[in-house]
Amino acid sequence: MINIRRLILWSIIGIGISSISVQLVVIREFLAQFNGNEMTISVAVFSWLLLTGVGSYAAKFIKPASVTIYSLLALIAAIWPIPQMIMIRHFREGVFIHGASPGFYHIFIFILAVIAVYCLLSGFILPLSLNVLRANGYTSTSGDIYITDNIGDISGGIIFSFILVYWATPFQAIAITSSLAVLSTMALLYIKGNRRLLAGAVLLIAGFYTVALNANLETLSLSGQYGDIVKYLESPYGRVVVTREGSQHTFWESGLPLYSDENIMESEERVHYPLSQRKQIGNILIISGGLGETLSEAQKHRPGHIDYLELDPWLTGAAEEIGILIKRPNLDIINADARNYIKNSEKKYDAIIVNLPDPDTFQINRFFTNEFFRLVKDALNEDGILSFSLEYSENFVSSIRRKKLSTMYNTAGSVFKHVEIIPAARAYFICSDGEISMDIPALLRDKSVSTTYIEGFYYGNVTDDRVERIRSAIDRGVDINSDFMPGMVRIVFQEWFSQYDTSPWLFIFIIAVIFAIYLFFVKREEYILFSTGMAVMGTEMLIIFTFQVIYGYIYLRIGAVVTSFLLGLLPGAILGKGYKGRPGLMASEVIILGLLFIFLTWGTLLNVDIPQIWFFIYCFMFSFCCGFQFPFITRIMGENSRPIAGCLAADFAGAAVGTILVGAFLIPSIGIRISIIFLLLMKISSFSVSFFLWRGKRG
Supply the DSSP string of 487-498, one letter for each residue: HHHHHHHHHHHH
For position 1, what pLDDT does the model report? 47
Alpha-carbon span 228 to 216, nearest angstrom: 13
Please give the torsion angle defined by the CA atoms of residues 653, 657, 663 and 665, in that order, rounded to the nearest 10 degrees: 160
For position 245, what pLDDT does the model report? 82
Q: What is 1-221's CATH number?
A: 1.20.1250
For position 99, what pLDDT does the model report? 60
**Interval 224-246 mean pLDDT:** 84
Query: Taking the CB of residue 460, how many other CB atoms lie within 10 A of it?
Result: 7
pLDDT tens by residue, 636-679 = 777 666 666 677 778 888 888 888 888 878 887 777 778 888 88
Asked if the domains 1-221 and 264-485 are classified in one and the same CATH topology, the answer is: no
Per-residue CA distances from 332 to 310, 335, 367 (Å): 11, 10, 21
Residue 366 has phi, psi (to 5 degrees) of -65, -10
- Measured between alpha carbons, how far apart are the two ends of the chain, in Å? 44
Highest mean predicted confidence (pLDDT) among 108-112, 126-130, 244-248, 493-497: 108-112
Alpha-carbon span 647 to 636, nearest angstrom: 12
Decide which of 3.90.1300.10, 3.90.380.10, 1.20.1250.20, 1.10.3300.10 is the CATH code for 503-699: 1.20.1250.20
Statement: residue 2 has pLDDT above 60? no
**Interval 349-372 mean pLDDT:** 89
When the pLDDT of each residue in the chain is averaged and rounded to a whole number, the result is: 85
For position 392, what pLDDT does the model report? 83
Within 347-387, where are the H helices? Answer: 362-365, 370-379
Statement: residue 396 has pLDDT above 80? no
Confidence of residue 30 (pLDDT cuts 50, 70, 90): confident
Confidence of residue 554 (pLDDT cuts 50, 70, 90): low
For position 127, what pLDDT does the model report? 85
Residue type, 55: G
Alpha-carbon span 318 to 242, nearest angstrom: 8
65 compared with 200, residue with greater pLDDT: 200
**Are the C-beta atoms of 119 and 52 separated by less than 8 Å?**
yes
Percent of the chain whose predicted confidence (pLDDT) is above 70: 93
**Interval 564-576 mean pLDDT:** 84
Confidence of residue 524 (pLDDT cuts 50, 70, 90): confident
For position 641, what pLDDT does the model report? 60
- The SS3 assignment for 99 reads coil
Domain ranges of the chain: 1-221, 264-485, 503-699
* Cβ contacts of 331 within 8 Å, gap of 6 or more: 295, 305, 306, 308
CA nearest to 569, candidates 16, 161, 177: 16
For position 208, what pLDDT does the model report? 95
CA-based torsion, 37, 39, 43, 45: positive or negative = positive
**Picking from 106-110, 300-304, 431-435, 635-639, which range would have the lowest pLDDT averaged per residue?**
635-639
pLDDT tens by residue, 48-60 = 888 988 888 888 7
Confidence of residue 378 (pLDDT cuts 50, 70, 90): very high
For position 499, what pLDDT does the model report? 72
**Are the C-beta atoms of 421 and 428 separated by less than 8 Å?**
yes
Q: Specify the DSSP element, H or E, that contains 674.
A: helix 672-698
For position 290, what pLDDT does the model report? 78
Residue 425 has phi, psi (to 5 degrees) of -60, -35
β-pairing, 331-334 vs 418-423, is unpaired
CA atoms within 13 A on the CB side of 579: 24
Alpha-carbon span 328 to 320, nearest angstrom: 12
CA-based torsion, 376, 379, 385, 387: positive or negative = negative
For position 696, what pLDDT does the model report? 53
Decide which of 2.70.150.10, 3.60.110.10, 2.60.40.10, 3.40.50.150 is the CATH code for 264-485: 3.40.50.150
Chain length of the chain: 699
**Interval 524-532 mean pLDDT:** 83
Within 136-287, where are the H helices? Answer: 142-159, 165-167, 170-177, 179-192, 195-212, 215-220, 223-226, 264-275
pLDDT tens by residue, 249-287 = 888 887 777 777 767 888 899 999 999 999 899 999 999
For position 444, what pLDDT does the model report? 93
Statement: residue 699 has pLDDT above 50? no
Alpha-carbon span 546 to 16, nearest angstrom: 27
β-pairing, 305-309 vs 248-253, is unpaired
Angle separating helix axes 142-159 and 554-578, nearest 10 degrees:
160
Alpha-carbon span 78 to 641, nearest angstrom: 30
Highest mean predicted confidence (pLDDT) among 13-27, 513-527, 621-635: 13-27
* SS3 annotation, 548-596: HHHCCCHHHHHHHHHHHHHHHHHHHHHHHHHCCCCCHHHHHHHHHHHHH
**Are the C-beta atoms of 460 and 454 separated by less than 8 Å?**
no
**Interval 28-46 mean pLDDT:** 80
pLDDT tens by residue, 164-188 = 988 899 999 999 999 999 999 999 8
**Are the C-beta atoms of 339 and 331 separated by less than 8 Å?**
no
